Amino acid sequence: MEPSNDVALDIIITNVVAVFRTRCHLNLRTIALEGVNVIYKPEYGKVLMKLRKPRITASIWSSGKIICTGATSEDEAKQGARRLARTLQKLGFKVRFSEFKVVNVLAVCSMPFAIRLIDFTKNNRPIASPMVPAYRAARGTTPSLPSGSAQISLSRALYLPPLVS
């Protein structure tokens, strides 16, 4: 390929999902009654807590497992998780921040050419299978779009082992 035909793609990370453990049992009712920016979901056995800075949403289970979503970088996810652990400490729990792990990263980029997903998946099944393509079109919803109007989101779950054929 000629250097003059190279196109730089702007890849934007839109969501980082991280998991950590508190190494203690959490009373969800106490968190719901005394916490700030909290939504109690007893039918799912969890509490949702939102932080404003960094802007993350955390799903908190009574076992002490916490999933943080909405961060735009690994550092932001870790900072938000540590702030969340500190908030739980202030509510009276003996929280110890441990086992922090980034489990998923979602990135978006606009492609300078048409994307024909059906043909792509037929021709590249082993390559396309581990990735979960979430397809969004800037205009319309057909898999074949005019050049320059396609936007594709690729998400790779980082905790899953590679698929073996």
Residue 78 has pLDDT above 90, yes or no: yes
What pLDDT, on the 0 to 100 scale, is given for residue 63? 93
The residue behind tokens 């690994």 is: 74
**pLDDT tens, 27-44?**
999 999 999 999 999 999
**Ranges of CATH 3.30.310.10 domains, the chain:** 12-105
15 half-sphere exposure, CB direction, 13 A CA radius: 14
List Cβ neighbours of 58 (8 Å cut-off, separation of 6 or more).
48, 49, 50, 51, 66, 67, 68, 69, 80, 81, 84
Q: 12-105 — its CATH code?
A: 3.30.310.10
> What percentage of the chain exceeds 70 in pLDDT?
72
Would you call the peptide bond into 54 cis, given omega within 30 degrees of 0 as the criterion?
Answer: yes
Distance CA 61, CA 50 (A): 14
pLDDT band at 155 (very low <50, low <70, confident <90, very high): low
pLDDT digits (tens, 9 = 90+) for 99-141: 999 999 988 888 777 777 777 777 776 655 544 444 443 333 3
**At residue 3, what are phi and psi to the nearest 5 degrees?**
-60, -30
More confident of the two residues 8 and 157: 8
CA angle 128, 134, 140 (to 5 degrees): 120
pLDDT at position 152 is: 52
pTM of the prediction?
0.70
How are the residues of the chain apportioned to helix, strand and coil, as percentages rounded to the nearest 5? 25, 35, 40
Beta-bridged to residue 21, according to DSSP, are 65, 98
